[in-house]
Chains A and B, each alone.
Chain A
Amino acid sequence: MTEESIFDEMWGRDERLRRPYKRFNDWLEKEDSKTLRAKQREADDLFRLTGITFNVYGRAEAEERLIPFDIVPRIITGREWQRLSRGIEQRVRAINAFLYDIYHRQEIVRAGRIPEEMISNNAAFLPQMLGVNPPGGVYTHIVGIDLVRTGPDQFYVLEDNARTPSGVSYMLENRETMLQMFPELFLKNRVQPVENYPGDLRRSLAACAPSGAADAPVVAVLTPGIFNSAYYEHAFLADQMGVELVEGHDLRIVDGRVAMRTTRGYQPIDVIYRRIDDDFLDPLNFNPESQLGVPGIMDVYRAGRITIANAPGTGIADDKAIYSYMPEIVEFYTGEQPILENVPTWRCSEPDALAYVLDHLSELVVKEVHGSGGYGMLIGPTATKKDLAAFRNKLKARPSNYIAQPTLSLSTVPVFTNRGLAPRHVDLRPYVLVSPGGIRITPGGLTRVALKKGSLVVNSSQGGGTKDTWVLED
């Protein structure tokens, strides 16, 4: 992988300004870097004042930190977006059909397209969901599809987030910040709005209410609490939707329904947008140690008297081992070729694949099947000999715990540094809402950027930052 081969979304491969960035660049050339540096500091102050912070895990004292925000927007044309959103919609439909199938007749297994043990031996598979029909038939009410780009027309799906995709508050606050700091940019560029997301989310969730719910269903957001790393986002979404933010100890089962303790007594809830993991959802049905969930909520759910978004057990669809089967899954349920490509993936559980991975370890990215947040992964090209040796042993000991992928030459977008613009690698997470009424994709999403030169790790827990993402009206 050489520097020349990297595609920059502003400057292409040959330092020629790409069209979508033209107006932005005209504006940029007239700004002096001193003003921009001041603006960058202003952005940090705005974030700190609004309290857009995340808590860092693994520290003695819960510490609040800002995710660095970069003022250079990431710009996508309307045409590019149209193709992406068609691909995303197709993929999300397939994921929902797959989940229904897996928790009912398992046709895809019977057809021999996915090995049976990939399902039954998978920690993300919830036998408690077998035969359960979620209200409205929706499993993944909110999905985040992580995309990477390697060229003008080459996009790949890096990961599907079908459990509780986070980061959407940054998509909204990044836009708010840009609107406040550089209003003139939005007069020169016609950027598709993202600010309808909270309203869309509320409508989408309400549309998934169980049958028999009131005309205006009661929606609530369930958070693990103030010390969770994404607490800010939970509060933000509840606030923007105008619904209650509840914790497990605010809830109880009253007359066969989930109800929240209010100043006037217990009030039933129709739809719960939970931001806690399956395992903690119900101490009676899952982890008995959980203090975060609601004892008995699964029984109410099975009785069809509450909607849980996302449905329990959706993790089976975004598991990294299942990921490698996504092309088959899309084809099986939609009868179409996938519009969005998967990154080629070696399943280390297969002996041939394992042999290849061990031989080419220094060229590959190796991920834990159940890992997230960039923890527990190996990036071959930048790893030390010691890291490689350690990972070789891990792979041999538990091959089925890992998948491997080639290191893609991810596209870059410039970031603003003290020495001017500099290219940094990015990915993109668009947010998708699913309800019986249809699928809605907010134009844009969260662009994460690796702030360290040459780094490919964009996770905020590992020093990544974010950018505002523009989808232009063509």
Chain B
Amino acid sequence: MLGKTANGLFWMYRLLERADCTARLVETGQRIALTRSGTRDDEWRSVLLSAGSFEGFRKYEEDLTKTAAVDWLMRSKDNPSSVLSCISNARQNARMVRTALTPEVWEATNYAYMRVRELLARKLSEREVPPVLDKVRDLASLVQGATHNTMLRNDIYDFTQLGTFLERADNTARILDVKYYVLLPSVAAVGSSLDNVQWDTILRSVSAHGGFRMQHSSAVGPREIARFVILDKQMPRSLAFCARRLRRNLERLRDQYGLVKPSLAMASDLDEFYNVNDIDTIFEFGLHEHTQQTLGEITALGFQIEQDYRFYE
């Protein structure tokens, strides 16, 4: 496979995952705005921070209102992480790597692009936001479904998965980075309604409130939530889950190519960390410090994969 193709696949799936994550963050913000009394626009500040685009927003917008935030996250062309930008650029990458994709995946991606462009052609009114978010989620699932059902499990597939899980790990880590303080034991006033909403926000942001309820029927606190989002091996957006997948895909590349690359050692370290440490160790080390460190490691791993597989030269 061409290095350029590996790069295109990696970014195509990173961007698809990012679109999905951005949509989920908007959904969470929306929900909080609707279920809480009074207008709390600072919630949108934390949504923008979690989406990694608060700085960008500030450059273009004066006031932090809900309308402005939703528009920025969903359809702004100035925001490279907006749903519209991500899907457009994912599709541009898909065109570039067209020969590596099955017709099903290409058509699903192209269809997603055409629909999203239609749906986000104009500013969304309040009542349009929920159905559009649903649709975006459907479209992202369509591409993922086509990928899982039609792609050969070869190096092409591995690069799609590396893109997906690197972006996902990054996203989960960023949400924790913004919200870590509500999970700290010292400030946990168990049972208070404020904290329940904040915990709920975290779980919803990683699409895990349903899964969490399945595992924990009784009353729970921030420690369980932190463990679930960071360490749970069954939760497809936990840091541990993503690390395991990254390691596995890099191992598969090692086996297919017969080449041992430094990125595998980095992913193995990440995976190993979650194997040997429990949530108490992480709290001891410091939740914030851990999140910061993880974000750094994810970025470094991305750069290393680029180099190892000759994305650019």
Contacts and interface: CB of A to CB of B under 8 A. Distances in A.
Interface of A: 48-51, 226, 231, 235-236, 238-239, 243-247, 249-250, 260-265
Contacts, number: 59
B99 A246 contact: no
B204 interface: no
Nearest to A252: B313
A262 B107 contact: no
B283 interface: no
Given A51-B106, A262-B1, A265-B310, 18 more contacts: A49-B110, A49-B111, A49-B114, A50-B103, A50-B107, A50-B110, A235-B95, A236-B98, A244-B2, A246-B4, A249-B4, A250-B2, A261-B310, A261-B313, A263-B2, A263-B257, A263-B309, A264-B259
Interface residues of B, number: 24
A264 B255 CA distance: 12
A50 B110 CA distance: 8
B92 interface: yes
A102 B99 CA distance: 38
Contact of B99 (A49, A235, A260, A262): A235
Nearest to A266: B310
A236 B98 CA distance: 8
Nearest to A267: B2
Contacts of A249: 4
Contact of A235 (B98, B110, B155): B98
A263 B6 contact: yes
Contacts of A235: 95, 98-99
A175 to B, nearest CB: 16
14 contacts: A49-B110, A49-B114, A51-B107, A226-B95, A235-B99, A238-B99, A243-B99, A244-B2, A250-B4, A261-B3, A261-B313, A263-B257, A263-B309, A265-B310
B96 interface: yes
Given A226-B96, A239-B99, A244-B99, A263 B1 contact: yes
A245 B5 CA distance: 9
A237 B110 CA distance: 19
Interface string B57-97: 00000000000000000000000000000000000100110
A265 B259 CA distance: 11
A239 B309 contact: no
A178 B95 CA distance: 24
A18 to B, nearest CB: 37
Contact of A264 (B107, B111, B257): B257
A265 B2 CA distance: 9
A8 to B, nearest CB: 37
A246 B310 CA distance: 14
A262 B114 contact: no
Contacts of A264: 257, 259
Contacts of B5: 244
B4 A261 contact: yes
A11 B2 CA distance: 52
B152 to A, nearest CB: 12
A265 B6 CA distance: 13
Contact of B3 (A49, A51, A263): A263
Contacts of B259: 264
Given A49-B110, A49-B111, A247-B4, A263 B99 contact: no
Interface string B224-237: 00000000000000
Contacts of A244: 1-2, 5, 99
Nearest to A246: B2
A262 B308 CA distance: 11
Nearest to B111: A49
Given A51-B95, A226-B95, A239-B98, A262 B106 contact: no
Contact of A48 (B96, B114, B310): B114
A246 B114 CA distance: 27
A78 B300 CA distance: 63
Nearest to B107: A49
A51 B99 contact: no
A265 B96 CA distance: 20
Scoring A50, A245, A247, A263 by chain B CB atoms within 10 A of each residue's CB, the highest score goes to A263
B150 to A, nearest CB: 14
Contacts of B253: 263
B92 A226 contact: yes
A275 to B, nearest CB: 14
B308 to A, nearest CB: 8
Q: Shortest 7 CB-CB distances between A and B: which pairs?
A: A235-B98, A239-B99, A263-B309, A261-B3, A238-B99, A263-B6, A51-B110
Contacts of B309: 263
B63 to A, nearest CB: 30
